[in-house]
């Protein structure tokens, strides 16, 4: 299976604080990879480094290399093009203070799409992909703020998909959702993984077991273990991984 995202000897700092240390890892296309580990181990910084939003934080520096489909993203001059190719959905569902329709079209309009028929197709296609179309098709011009938490999270996914990314990053996308919404998001991710490279940070170990082909265990800014999900949970090679997946800490 083709590697979509590769990190080579990648390290990051916030000021003098080392956050990620010498990360060497690759992520496959058409697959879901879960990143697990205790709070503060660098999971979110890893995601944000892949779509070049970590550098928006003050005093962020990095060294090493990240490639997305063989493009060295930290050498790219068009940062917005990288963020378009590598979309990210955050932990707290975010609905822009716009209508449902304009939430979906925020990215396409930014990138210059303005033909009405094309915009209409984007709205319907992306809302269908996240199983939201039937729920909102009669109120597209209403404020997105009226949606439930689960609907807002699916809308956030539709907004990212509207610019046709190649990689989808998700940071704890189900942490504030009820079990029914969580399962719906998981089913959507499994469907989307047929087209995309999906990387999800989760504290929910059963979720990682359910949907991830491979799982990464991180601790103190390092990758401790990485492999097929079933094997990593059933027979971890590292003692620290064994302690984490058995619930001894984390």
- Averaged over 114-142, what is the pLDDT? 94
In a domain, 151, yes or no: yes
In a domain, 250, yes or no: no
In a domain, 153, yes or no: yes
Has residue 1 got a pLDDT over 90? no
In a domain, 188, yes or no: yes
In a domain, 115, yes or no: yes
Percentage, residues of the chain above pLDDT 70: 98
- Averaged over 47-67, what is the pLDDT? 94
The sign of the CA dihedral 168, 153, 121, 101 is negative
**What secondary structure letter does DSSP report for 8?**
E
Name the average pLDDT for the chain: 92
The model's confidence at residue 61, banded by pLDDT at 50, 70 and 90, is very high
**What secondary structure letter does DSSP report for 96?**
-
Residue 2 confidence (pLDDT): 60
Other C-beta atoms within 10 Å of 119: how many? 18
Other C-beta atoms within 10 Å of 135: how many? 14
Domain that holds residue 235: 3-245
In a domain, 36, yes or no: yes
Has residue 234 got a pLDDT over 80? yes
Percent helix / strand / coil, the chain, rounded to 5: 40, 30, 30
Cα–Cα distance for residue pair 20/5, rounded to 1 Å = 16
Cα-flanking dihedrals φ and ψ of residue 35, to 5°?
-115, 120
Q: What is the dihedral of CA 27, 173, 154, 199, to 10 degrees?
A: 0
186-203 tens-digit pLDDT: 999 999 999 999 999 999
Closest by CA to 44, choosing from 218, 182, 215, is 218
The model's confidence at residue 111, banded by pLDDT at 50, 70 and 90, is confident
Report, in angstroms and rounded to the nearest whole number, the Rg of the chain calculated over CA atoms. Answer: 18
149-166 tens-digit pLDDT: 899 999 999 999 999 999
Number of structural domains, the chain?
Answer: 1
Find the helix packing angle between 179-192 and 149-161, rounded to 10°: 10
The model's confidence at residue 55, banded by pLDDT at 50, 70 and 90, is very high
Residue 215 confidence (pLDDT): 97
First-residue to last-residue Cα distance in the chain = 31
The answer to whether the CB of 113 falls within 8 A of the CB of 123 is: no
The model's confidence at residue 92, banded by pLDDT at 50, 70 and 90, is confident
Residue 94: strand, helix, or coil:
coil
The CATH number covering residue 139 comes to: 3.40.50.300
Residue 54 confidence (pLDDT): 94
In a domain, 201, yes or no: yes
Q: pTM of the entire structure?
A: 0.93
Task: Give the tokens for residue 226.
Answer: 């990485």
In a domain, 138, yes or no: yes
Residue 249 confidence (pLDDT): 63
- Averaged over 174-192, what is the pLDDT? 89
Phi-psi sector, 37: left (phi>0), alpha (psi -120 to 50), beta: left
The model's confidence at residue 247, banded by pLDDT at 50, 70 and 90, is confident
């Amino acid at each position: 299976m083709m590697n979509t995202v590769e990190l080579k000897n990648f390290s990051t700092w916030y000021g003098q604080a080392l956050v990620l240390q010498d990360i060497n890892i690759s992520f496959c296309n058409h697959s879901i990879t879960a990143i697990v580990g205790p709070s503060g181990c660098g999971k979110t910084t890893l995601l944000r480094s892949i779509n070049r939003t970590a550098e928006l934080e003050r005093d962020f520096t990095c060294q090493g290399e990240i490639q997305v489909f063989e493009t060295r993203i930290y050498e790219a001059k068009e940062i917005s093009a990288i963020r378009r190719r590598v979309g990210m959905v955050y932990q707290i569902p975010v609905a822009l203070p716009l209508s449902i329709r304009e939430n979906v079209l925020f990215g396409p309009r930014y990138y210059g799409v303005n033909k009405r028929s094309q915009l209409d197709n984007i709205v319907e296609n992306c809302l269908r992909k996240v199983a939201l179309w039937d729920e909102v098709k009669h109120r597209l011009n209403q404020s997105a703020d009226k949606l439930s938490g689960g609907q807002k999270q699916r809308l956030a996914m539709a907004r990212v998909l509207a610019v046709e990314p190649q990689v989808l990053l998700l940071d704890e996308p189900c942490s504030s959702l009820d079990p029914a919404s969580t399962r719906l998001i998981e089913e959507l991710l499994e469907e989307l993984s047929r087209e995309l490279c999906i990387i999800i940070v989760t504290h929910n170990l059963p979720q990682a077991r359910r949907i991830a082909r491979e799982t990464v265990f991180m601790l103190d800014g390092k990758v401790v273990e990485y492999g097929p999900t079933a094997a990593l949970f059933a027979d971890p090679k590292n003692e620290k991984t064994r302690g984490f997946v058995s619930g001894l800490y984390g």
